[in-house]
Amino acid sequence: MALSDGVFKVRLQAIEYGAPGINLYTFEALDGQPLAAYEPGAHVDVVMGPDLLRQYSLLWPATHPARYQIAVQLSEVGKGGSRKLHFESVVGAVYEMSQPRNHFPLVPSDDEFHLFAGGIGITPIISMYRQLKASGRRVSLYYWAGSAQHMLFHDQLCRERQDDVRLFHTRSSGAVPPRLKDVLTTLPPSAQLYCCGPQGMVDEFDRLTLDRPEANTHRERFSATTDALQPGDSFRVRLQRSGLTLTVPAELSLLQVCEAAGVDVAYSCEEGVCGACEVKVLAGQVEHRDTVLTPGQRQRSESMMICCSRGVGDSLVVDI
Ligand code: FES
């Protein structure tokens, strides 16, 4: 595990109930000094234990300059980060955390914004909604969850509720709620669309927005693609700054081979979802396997995530 630069210690200051299976965790700087500023969509890495690092979206705005707050859903299928926080964390405990990174930023636009959240995906989306509302932009928020009880920030969203917040209960016994498709088909091509939620929801968002300008569609995924960590073909790579040429065997990643060669590289999730291991591609073809780059960025191939993406053939040159 190698966090990017700027790791620092924070104290768990409060644990609050958010919704069934979801708690809010507030961390504060040990010296009480302001923490680095961040924008909606940013996340931090939290060190949960040896070789256990998890990424969580920061809630915006911060309630205090020296505090960060995250929402964590208890997961039965993850690597154990959420279980550690839900069952083992105590207020006052000290954790290590990375500086905020943002691969899901709001892109400035004069057009209307439409924000789509499913389940715990509301965390970056409500942050975006708050900022867009505060700056007087035209924005609508659509939030799907099992029931009102399962909605994080349900009461707050109901209090603020205007025509621009729509809450859909997928397990309600009443009328069937609109689906993502029903909403998307009503929106003009110029609309700025942001989506965060379970994999199926984001996959559907991608399918339904294929015909829209790429610059208008933005998404964030929580989990790796199914092929992210599968073995691939062996390839050779030139590390331009280190002056090394390495062979990456089928069962290893470029990241693992760099580490074995003693080359210092930053990384975090090791499954292509956080963006910490992104490096510049100087030449060659890449098989992109991450969930961070947009289809256009993949096509331009100016960078790659070395924890999962692979070179094709022997022509890859990277800026390491
Ligand atoms: S370490 Fe997270 S994308 Fe590679």
Query: What is the Å distance from ligand 1's center to 252 Cα?
Result: 15
Query: Are 48 and 81 within 8 A, CB to CB?
Result: yes
pLDDT confidence tier of residue 77, bands split at 50, 70 and 90: low
Task: Give 156-203 pLDDT, tens digit per residue.
Answer: 888 866 679 999 998 877 778 899 999 999 999 999 999 999 888 999
Q: Which residues contact 144 (CB under 8 A, 6 or more apart)?
A: 117, 118, 119, 168, 170, 177, 180, 197, 201
Q: Is 76 or 60 the better-scoring residue by pLDDT?
A: 60
The answer to whether the CB of 265 is under 6 A from ligand 1 is: no
Check if 272 has its Cβ closer than 6 Å to any atom of ligand 1: yes
CA separation (Å) from 64 to 28, 44, 67, 68?
Answer: 9, 17, 5, 8
Cβ of 274 less than 6 Å from ligand 1: yes
SS3 for 318?
strand
Pairing assessment for the beta strands 303-305 and 278-287 based on DSSP bridges: antiparallel
β-strand 113-118 against 139-145: which pairing, if any? parallel
Domains and CATH numbers, the chain: 8-97 (2.40.30.10), 113-220 (3.40.50.80), 235-318 (3.10.20.30)
Q: Quote the pLDDT of residue 79.
A: 66
User: Bigger pLDDT: 41 or 224?
Assistant: 41
Q: Which residue has the higher pLDDT, 163 or 139?
A: 139
- Average pLDDT value for residue range 128-148: 95
Using 50, 70 and 90 to split pLDDT, how confident is the model at 143?
Answer: very high
Which of 102, 144, 149 lies closest to 122 in space, CA to CA?
A: 144
C-alpha–C-alpha distance, residues 29 and 10, integer Å: 5
Tell me the mean pLDDT in the region 48-74. 92
Tell which atom from ligand 1 comes closest to the C-alpha of 307: 4
pLDDT for 270 equals 87
Instruction: Look at 135 and 52; give whichever has higher pLDDT.
Output: 135
Q: Which of 123-137, 180-194, 265-279 has the lowest mean pLDDT?
A: 265-279
Tokens 């909604």 locate to 129
- Ligand 1 midpoint to CA 94 (Å): 24
Q: Which tens digits make up the pLDDT trace of 146-161? A: 999 999 999 988 886 6
Q: How far is 6 from 282, CA to CA, in rounded Å?
A: 26
Q: Where are the beta strands (DSSP E) in 189-264?
A: 192-196, 217-220, 235-239, 244-248
Instruction: Answer left, alpha or beta for residue 153, where phi above 0 means left and psi between -120 and 50 means alpha.
Output: left
Task: Identify the residue whose C-alpha is closest to ligand 1 atom 3.
Answer: 272
Give the residue-averaged pLDDT of 100-115: 95
User: Is the C-beta atom of 276 inside 6 A of ligand 1?
Assistant: yes
pLDDT on residue 40:
98
Q: Which single residue is written with the structure tokens 């396997």?
A: 289
